[in-house]
Amino acid sequence: MIEGILIGLKTALSFQNLLMVMIGCFAGTIIGMLPGLGPMTAIALMIPITYGFDPATGLILMAGVYYGAVFGGSTSSILINAPGVPGTVATSFDGYPMAQQGKAGKALAIAAYSSFAGGTISAIFLLIAAPSLSKVSLSFRSPDYFGLMILGLTAVAAFSSKGNFLKAMMMCVLGLMLASVGQDTLSDIPRFTFNNMNLSDGISFVLVVMATFAMSEALTIIIKGNDPSKAAKQISLTDLGSIKVSKEETKQMAVTIPRSSILGFIVGVLPGAGATIASFLAYGMERNFVKNEEKEKFGKGSVQGLSAPETANNAACSGSFVPLLTLGIPGSGTTAVMLGALLGFGIQPGPRLYETNPDIFWSVIMSMYIGMVVLLILNLPLIPYIARILAVPRTFLIPMILFFSVTGIYLMSFNNFDIFLMIGIAVVATILRLYDFPMPPLILAFVLGGLMEENLRRSLLISDGSWTFLWDRPLTLCIMITILLIVFWQIYNSFKLSKK
Amino acid sequence: MKINSVKLISLLFFIISAFYLYTAHQIQVFAFDEGAPFNAKTFPIYLGYAGMFFSGLKIVLPDQKPVQVDPTYLEFKKTILLVLTMIVYGATILKVGFFLSTSLFLIFSYYFLGERRWKYIIIFSFPFVAIFMYLLHGVLAVYLRDPLLKYLGIMG
């Protein structure tokens, strides 16, 4: 492991990669800060650029963007009460009241220190957990993988969009349907191409991500008439106050951070749970743990109320990398985008990644940590300046997002068809968003589609067409029971509501 | 059962799934693969059924969280204009070239979204695209097709 860490450090600390982490953190912070645009959009916009680099550099850039976007989301939560991502909603509960009391700088500093500490602790957990889990997951067979992928999709559908399980499952199926377009990987038989040559290679992952996130988010902002810059005028973005944290506040944070980190990491590892659930759970847990007088401050600018969700959401971000790096199965929409990018580089994440590409495996882990250091050193002093981006009017912001989306696809294919297809998917995604159809399950399914079919193919061939592979092995059986429990629980809830 | 937009979307999804299932059955597989435990149409067939199952349930069951979208508050005109501008942009980017089509796309988009400060509109269109092109084409050596600039002798 020490050797691996050194390999990772060597790669991550090269001049080019350090520069990429800085650029990534900076760009991610700016994009993540804009309400409505989260880490997925930020990473999606970066993918075409990363394909110009070697895999390690590209992934390091994306890891920087990821952490930057999460931090940026906290900034808009604190300053304008408009969380850039669902994972930072809980941050606004106490962060925004602090900003209203003229302590915006302090709130941002607490958020930054908590994120850093949460990220550091969970990076250590990741360092320990990932190699051990890689070894365990070598015993996994195709039926287990197939089961795990279905579990990932059902869990994301069940947990990421509360009360919208059926809508999320429909989005999963839609994602899998989109992934099935193009030539069959084994037989090269064209499927759903309708004799269109442009579809024979399938639909590009970048195209789907850009259309369903960057472009449709921009269109949703327009159609709903939201103007982030209007919200930005509520608090002075030029005078954020001091960023110094007192001794008393540091003591309070020192109690909160360890427990929130552990909770965040564990929740992050679970498929589908992610930063949002982690931050809410940490907020609730902290409220139960603190003294009564501190409990009164919750929702009115409590240091611990701000520190807990911030620590947990960053810890969950690192935790979500565990299933991605060890099993090759993303547990969230953001890691699904990362998986898509990895596959684009020709790298198959999974238990073998640890052995076949140790430089990539370790450099991603190490660069995540370096990303957090960069965030703390670079972004915190620059926040008063970066915050002014919140005041950029949407009349300039939206066309820029659309321009980057179209250009990203144009540079990849030089094909009009792809641009039209992207616009078409974006329009459909915008309509679906209006009616609360969640997009992360679609992306997760789109990325997993090929792998799922491959594992189902192997499982069915091994069992000679019999579906008994679903319960032959104890591990597969456990996974299938969990899936059935989730599905039936969700459908039962729907029936219960219909009786009411 | 109340008919609302979500139910209509679900119904549409049900029809699309049924069509997908029909198309999946039409996939031509090799003769020796026809009776195999798994062939090119196996997975899509299951997907078709899954799509019909979940959308069917969504149509039948009531909404847990009914979504209220008031069309009077939606900015359809701006959105449609923006989508049309993107379509024109997509259609012209290869023929007219990156520089002119992108700059015009940005100008029209700013304008349609209500921006009237021409100084900023101009700064964030032609010069912005020129800098972007220089960074991409000149610094990062990413190929950008631009017949117009090539004709004018600006780009090689």
Across A6-10, A102-106, A303-307, A321-325, which has the greatest mean pLDDT? A303-307
A211 vs A90 pLDDT, higher one: A211
Instruction: Inspect the interface and report whether the beta carbons of B145 and A222 lie closer than 8 Å.
Output: no
A26 vs A192 pLDDT, higher one: A192
Question: Is the pLDDT score of A204 beyond 90?
Answer: no
- pLDDT band, very low/low/confident/very high, at B21 (cuts 50, 70, 90): very high
The shortest C-alpha distance from A488 to chain B (Å) reads 13
Q: Tell me what the mean pLDDT of segment B47-69 comes to.
A: 87
Instruction: Inspect the interface and report whether the beta carbons of A192 and B140 lie closer than 8 Å.
Output: no
Compute the half-sphere exposure of residue A62: CA atoms within 13 Å on the CB side of its CA. Answer: 35
pLDDT at B55: 95
Question: Which residues partner with A183 through β-bridges?
Answer: A190
Residues A426-436 pLDDT 10s: 999 999 989 88
ipTM entry: 0.93
Q: Cβ contacts of residue A438 below 8 Å, gap of 6+?
A: A157, A160, A161, A164, A167, A168, A171
Q: Tell me what the mean pLDDT of segment A72-84 comes to.
A: 75
The burial class, CB within 10 Å (0-12 / 13-18 / 19+), for B1 is: exposed
A172 vs B33 pLDDT, higher one: A172
Residues A229-260 pLDDT 10s: 555 445 555 566 777 888 888 898 999 999 99
Q: Closest by alpha carbon to A35, among A71, A65, A73?
A: A73
Write the residue in A223, A400, A452 that is nearest to B75 by C-beta.
A223
Residues A351-375 pLDDT 10s: 777 777 777 777 777 777 788 888 8
Write the residue in B6, B29, B94 that is nearest to A189 by C-beta.
B29
B152 vs A467 pLDDT, higher one: A467
Instruction: Inspect the interface and report whether the beta carbons of B6 and A393 lie closer than 8 Å.
Output: no
Look up the domain containing A225 and give its range: 2-499
- pLDDT band, very low/low/confident/very high, at A186 (cuts 50, 70, 90): confident
pTM for this one?
0.79
Write the residue in A167, A191, A416 that is nearest to B44 by C-beta.
A191
pLDDT at A83: 66
- pLDDT band, very low/low/confident/very high, at A100 (cuts 50, 70, 90): confident
Domain ranges of chain B: 5-69, 73-151
A363 vs A450 pLDDT, higher one: A450
pLDDT at A165: 86
Across A154-163, A273-282, A320-329, A434-443, which has the greatest mean pLDDT? A434-443
Q: Tell me what the mean pLDDT of segment A271-280 comes to.
A: 72
* Nearest chain A residue to B14, by CA: A170
Instruction: Inspect the interface and report whether the beta carbons of A166 and B58 lie closer than 8 Å.
Output: yes
Q: Cβ contacts of residue A372 below 8 Å, gap of 6+?
A: A67, A115, A116, A119, A120, A123, A314
Q: Tell me what the mean pLDDT of segment A31-52 comes to.
A: 76
CA B122, B77, A73, A336 dihedral sign is negative
pLDDT at A419: 93
pLDDT at B140: 65
Question: Is the pLDDT score of A227 beyond 60?
Answer: no
- pLDDT band, very low/low/confident/very high, at A422 (cuts 50, 70, 90): very high
Give dist(CA A264, CA A314) in Å, integer.
7
Query: Which chain B residues contact residue A224 at CB under 8 A?
Result: 73-75
Instruction: Inspect the interface and report whether the beta carbons of B41 and A406 lie closer than 8 Å.
Output: no
* Residues of A (394-413) whose Cβ lies below 8 Å from B: 394-396, 398-400, 402-403, 406-407, 410-411
Write the residue in A52, A191, A423 that is nearest to B27 by C-beta.
A191
Q: Where are the alpha helices (DSSP H) in A345-393?
A: 353-356, 358-374, 380-386
Query: Which chain B residues contact residue A463 at CB under 8 A?
Result: 37
pLDDT at A174: 96
A414 touches B at CB < 8 Å: yes
Query: Which chain B residues contact residue A465 at CB under 8 A?
Result: 36-38
pLDDT at A448: 83
Query: Which chain B residues contact residue A460 at CB under 8 A?
Result: 37-38, 42
